[in-house]
Amino acid sequence: MNIAADYVLDTLGLTCPEPVMLLHNKIRDIPENAILKVVASDPSTLRDIPKFCNFLGHELLEQKEQDGEFKYFIKKKKKD
């Protein structure tokens, strides 16, 4: 799948809990239905980012690992 992201969050080199903390701040600042690409190097994001999306209701469109980098494409939920 080739997803075009509206925004990118680079968390390479950061470790838990920093990637999810930055994700939380970034997703709050983008408009609803926007797609955010998160790039991470911490393997704990494999667990943390899907849980984050599930808990807050954002849609995890895709996650993949390539050359030691973890990439996530998240669609921000609509406001209630």
Which residue in 14, 16, 22, 60 is the catalytic one?
Answer: 16
16 is an active site residue: yes
Instruction: With residue 10 as reference, give the H or E element that holds it.
Output: strand 7-11
Q: What is the DSSP string of 11-79?
A: ETT--TTHHHHHHHHHHHHSPTT-EEEEEE--TTHHHHHHHHHHHHT-EEEEEEEETTEEEEEEEPPPP
Residues annotated as catalytic are: 16
